[in-house]
Amino acid sequence: MPATLHDSTKILSLNTGAQIPQIGLGTWQSKENDAYKAVLTALKDGYRHIDTAAIYRNEDQVGQAIKDSGVPREEIFVTTKLWCTQHHEPEVALDQSLKRLGLDYVDLYLMHWPVRLDPAYIKNEDILSVPTKKDGSRAVDITNWNFIKTWELMQELPKTGKTKAVGVSNFSINNLKDLLASQGNKLTPAANQVEIHPLLPQDELINFCKSKGIVVEAYSPLGSTDAPLLKEPIILEIAKKNNVQPGHVVISWHVQRGYVVLPKSVNPDRIKTNRKIFTLSTEDFEAINNISKEKGEKRVVHPNWSPFEVFK
Ligand code: A2P
């Protein structure tokens, strides 16, 4: 029987009481002018949640599209992220992001990775870069800094009004436990944005975050570049059976699991597709859950932060 597709309208709540639309537009790897067009298309289509980051280098385009969309600012949930070279100065970094975005505040400001890159290695004053040492390895700083110090600074930011909430990204259970147990911790992160898709379901991490009141956000929900998950035979089969597109199947699976989903697309039709969902039968839902059990888990995004263990 053909499935009935509908727009996703579900709103989740952050531990601050703020509301966050369950589906947001991801903008990582949107190139050149693509982010502007993608955000404009999305907002006109009904998206009210846009995810960007300083290191994506598209905050100016995202901000311009928000402005040009005519959608009132307070109706849009905007997230940006602190880049690793600025862990010692999150308020300065947030000011710079706001300037590029042309906004007075963001709704959520995330620590992009739990790792500081040593600014002493920055070349050409390019703070939004990945500085490396002479041997080519990333200039990871574990001697003078750690993410707990970053969080101690970040947790003060909501008081400034420049962000409504603060959270983290790419945090494992162990790193979250360390953060929550640290002496200076006064605030539980509102969100943890991590890679999640059928080949990396992250059940344990999701349950841990839920138990602490941290909203989970899925990046690379289709498996990142070229959406490899949409070619999985089981996904194709379920799509055919329900007379929908593979994208509808995977996004619906995420939505049914109850966290925020951030599909990235710069293609107008796919942007629209990714906000349409349907209810998966128990059988289809379980079949998708089984993909990683049968094939093994696969992480797509795993930059080398050695010697710091990000995913331990
Ligand atoms: P494009 O931007 O050209 O649409 P993820 O969200 O997991 O990071 O996946 C992003 C990748 O998936 C991009 O290559 C994007 O390409 C592609 N993509 C996004 N939505 C869809 C869709 N509904 N069907 C097919 N490919 C998609």
Tokens describing residue 201: 């379901």
- pLDDT, residue 2, reads 81
Hey, is 19 helix, strand or coil? Answer: strand
DSSP code, position 195:
E
DSSP code, position 260:
E
- pLDDT, residue 31, reads 74
Q: Of all helices (H) and strands (E), which one includes residue 79? A: strand 77-82
Q: What atom of ligand 1 comes closest to residue 223's alpha carbon?
A: 7
- Of 224, 264, 269, the residue with max ligand 1 atoms within 8 A of its CB, to mutate for a pocket test, comes to 264
Q: Which residues touch 134 (CB under 8 Å, ≥6 apart)? A: none
Euclidean distance between CA atoms 206 and 136, whole angstroms = 34
Closest CA to 93 of 147, 142, 154, 168: 154
Residues 57-91 have pLDDT tens digits of: 999 999 999 999 999 999 999 999 999 999 999 99
- Of 195, 230, 267, the residue with max ligand 1 atoms within 8 A of its CB, to mutate for a pocket test, comes to 267
Cβ–Cβ under 8 Å, residues 42 and 271: yes
Longest CA span, the chain: 61
Q: What is the mean pLDDT of each run of 10 residues along the chain (312 residues)?
A: 88 98 93 90 98 97 97 98 98 98 98 97 95 95 95 98 98 98 97 98 98 98 94 97 97 98 96 96 98 96 93 84
Hey, is 54 helix, strand or coil? Answer: helix
Tokens describing residue 28: 């990582």
Q: What atom of ligand 1 comes closest to residue 220's alpha carbon?
A: 7
**Exposed, middle or buried by CB within 10 Å (0-12, 13-18, 19+), for 57?**
middle
- Residue 47 bears catalytic tag: no
Q: What atom of ligand 1 comes closest to residue 34's alpha carbon?
A: 2
Q: Which residues touch 183 (CB under 8 Å, ≥6 apart)? A: none
Residue 128, ligand 1, Cβ within 6 A:
no
Euclidean distance between CA atoms 238 and 166, whole angstroms = 38
Residue 263, ligand 1, Cβ within 6 A:
yes
Angle among Cα 101, 102, 108 to the nearest 5 degrees reads 50
Residue 264, ligand 1, Cβ within 6 A:
yes
Euclidean distance between CA atoms 24 and 21, whole angstroms = 7
Residue 247, ligand 1, Cβ within 6 A:
yes
Residue 227, ligand 1, Cβ within 6 A:
yes
Euclidean distance between CA atoms 64 and 58, whole angstroms = 10
Cβ–Cβ under 8 Å, residues 103 and 59: no
Residues 124-141 have pLDDT tens digits of: 999 999 999 999 999 999
Tokens describing residue 101: 């975005």
DSSP code, position 132:
B
φ/ψ of residue 308, rounded to 5: -80, 135
Tokens describing residue 309: 């263990």
- pLDDT, residue 33, reads 81
CA distances from 83 to 63, 114, 214, 281 (A): 18, 10, 21, 40
- pLDDT, residue 29, reads 83
- Of 253, 270, 275, 278, the residue with max ligand 1 atoms within 8 A of its CB, to mutate for a pocket test, comes to 270
Say how far residue 114 (Cα) sits from the centre of its chain. 14
Which residue matches tokens 């490396």?
Answer: 132
Euclidean distance between CA atoms 236 and 294, whole angstroms = 17
- pLDDT, residue 15, reads 98
